[in-house]
Structure 1
Amino acid sequence: MERAAFGEEAHQQQRRQRRERDSRQQRGFRRDQQAADQVDDHRRRLRDRVHAVVFAYESGLVQPGA
């Protein structure tokens, strides 16, 4: 159940990012700035995933080697 919720949250985040990117294009942002923003978004998502994995191990939801 939580896994499905996590997937839905990721999907909603992608939709928000797509809308934001479209909005930036309409406002005339340069493509290189958009690329830099996408890299920042990717780093943020990666950091969130790492935190989720750390939380899972520390809370006992996942066992090493499982």
Structure 2
Amino acid sequence: MIVCLCENINSRKIQECFEAGMTLEEIRFRLGLGNQCGSCLEAAEKMIRTEASNTIEKLAIG
């Protein structure tokens, strides 16, 4: 799914960066996320929060 139309950034690219341990700010810098109109930032932040929550659940379950 395309998250940022301006920079053609899809959800997979964001997920890969998150899985590599990057923060939202690092992802923004690396991919150029939000550098144009900024309308993608809310969706990207929500996606990262969801990924973080899923990671925590997986660790808790073991």
TM-score (norm 2): 0.50
**Relative to total residues, which structure has the larger strand share, 1 or 2?**
2
**Relative to total residues, which structure has the larger helix share, 1 or 2?**
1
Structure with the larger RCO, 1 or 2 (CA within 8 Å, 6+ apart): 2
